[in-house]
Amino acid sequence: MKEGLKIVTIGGGSSYTPELIEGFINRYDKLPVRELWLVDIEEGRQKLEITAGLARRMIEHANVPIKLFTSLDRREALKDADFVTTQMRVGQIEARIKDERIPISHGLLGQETNGAGGLFKGLRTIPVILDICRDMEELCPDAWLINFTNPVGMVTEAVFRYGAHKKTIGLCNVPIGMERGAMDILKAKKEDIFMTFAGLNHMVFANHVFLKGKEVTERVIEGWGTQSMKNIKALEWSSDFLKTLGVVPCPYHRYYYMSVENLKEELRKYEEHGTRAEEVKKLEAELFEIYKDKDLATKPKQLEQRGGAYYSDAACNLICSIYNDTRDIQVVDTYNHGAIDFLEKDAAVEISCVITKNGPVPLAVGDLPDTVKGLVSQIKSFEIAGAKAAVTGDYNDALTAMIINPLVASQSSAIEVLNELLLAHEKYLPQFSKAVSILRSNS
């Protein structure tokens, strides 16, 4: 019997990797990682080497016996893995820039994981994740796949519907940020509050907040105001609206409940200095320069400026809980299993779960308020349609997904943006080769 765990991180050259390393180091007494493999593709070789250099210095500085390996061969790395994490960006940051710039040029919100941009990130990502699932079924069938590659909801839905490896959990940092926001409002310590969440990825609500055993949801709603995250402008919520809504919204809900205001802000940024993706490109370049410092042996503070900060630590926490069968409560993307009764039993939902060695067990919510059910159902329809399009490569499937998304909601704009994005991302959408060929012949 082997001693310790083998963990594989696909997208190991990500700027988030130092946070992952820190998480494993801090939990080593409870999570004995024997081997950690950082995997990337040829285009990411340089970033992988830089990140691995910092990771090795962090491990040496912490004096923990983790053996670090790097590879450009995914199958070599996956053999006999216990856990696999995925944190990749198909097409790298340049693809994200197109996802954001092209929709906004047509007067639609350009956002990495929502609307037209989110759909195309899903279309590029899902086939790769499904390939990873096939490899895992062959090479490490008992391993858990922990995915925090966006759009997490659509990716998880695709794996549940079409994937070969069902031991898959999606993960997001948004509930962590919301918990921190509630702590600020309540001036409370983490151990004194308890929140339950239900909904979908980037469409999740906190339906109950407790402080030392007393429900204080209304207090949090009253003070929610400008609570947000670094990558979403903190437009102020109307407390009267939130009281009627009856639940605490996540930052991404601003794109749906404040669409006009957000579009105006995105257009201003687009005209003045570019998109959030271009800001991230600059920030990542600065981070990798910092990572090169041979004297750096800890996670740099600047990493917290990335919108996805705490993703990796959440992944480490989840892995630790599965391994130790702690049965604590965490918010993950998993099978609904009837926990939210108006969604399909096998749909992917983001919900508070008891984490066991057999995976997440969702806490039954029953219902969500009528005020939010329609939007949640519409986004679930979008995720299902997007997952289908990613698998079929059918133009009409992609168009349907685009049109039913409430951030598009225009047939003419959907066709224009769909066509332009298909041509722009041709290299990373081989399943749409027929549709792209027709578009090129008609142009």
What does residue 332 show for φ and ψ, rounded to 5 degrees? Answer: -140, 170
CA 71 to chain centre: 24
Q: Is the dihedral of CA 11, 359, 3, 65 positive or negative?
A: positive
pLDDT of residue 231: 78
Nearest 10 degrees: Cα torsion 140, 146, 147, 153: 120
pLDDT of residue 61: 97
Q: Considering 252, 255, 323, 335, which one is annotated as catalytic?
A: 252
CB atoms within 10 A of CB 211: 19
At 411 the three-state DSSP class reads helix
Q: Which tokens hold the place of 332? A: 């993950």
Helix (H) or strand (E) holding 346: none
Q: Where are the domains of the chain?
A: 5-93+105-170
Strand locations in 266-391 (E): 329-335, 348-356, 359-362
pLDDT of residue 93: 93
The CATH architecture to which 5-93+105-170 belongs is 3-Layer(aba) Sandwich (3.40)
* CA angle (118 as vertex; 113, 121 as ends), nearest 5: 105
CB 84 within 8 A of CB 20: no
pLDDT of residue 306: 65
Annotated catalytic residue 428: no
CB 349 within 8 A of CB 223: no
Calpha distance 56→66 (Å, rounded): 9
User: pLDDT digit of tens for each residue in the chain (443 aa)?
Assistant: 468 999 999 999 999 899 999 999 999 999 999 999 999 999 999 999 999 999 999 999 999 999 999 999 999 999 999 999 999 999 999 999 999 999 999 999 888 889 999 999 999 999 999 999 999 999 999 999 999 999 999 999 999 999 999 999 999 999 999 999 999 999 999 999 999 999 999 999 999 999 999 999 999 999 999 988 877 888 999 999 999 999 999 999 999 999 999 998 888 888 887 788 888 899 899 999 999 999 999 988 877 766 555 767 889 999 999 999 999 999 999 999 999 999 999 999 999 999 999 999 999 988 899 999 999 999 999 999 999 999 999 999 999 999 999 999 899 999 999 999 999 999 999 999 999 999 999 87
Phi-psi category of 222—alpha, beta or left, where left has phi over 0 and alpha has psi -120 to 50? alpha
Calpha distance 344→204 (Å, rounded): 16
Calpha distance 392→341 (Å, rounded): 29
What is the reported pTM? Answer: 0.95
Name the amino acid, one letter, at 271.
Answer: E
- Asked if the bond preceding 251 is cis, omega within 30° of 0, the reply is no
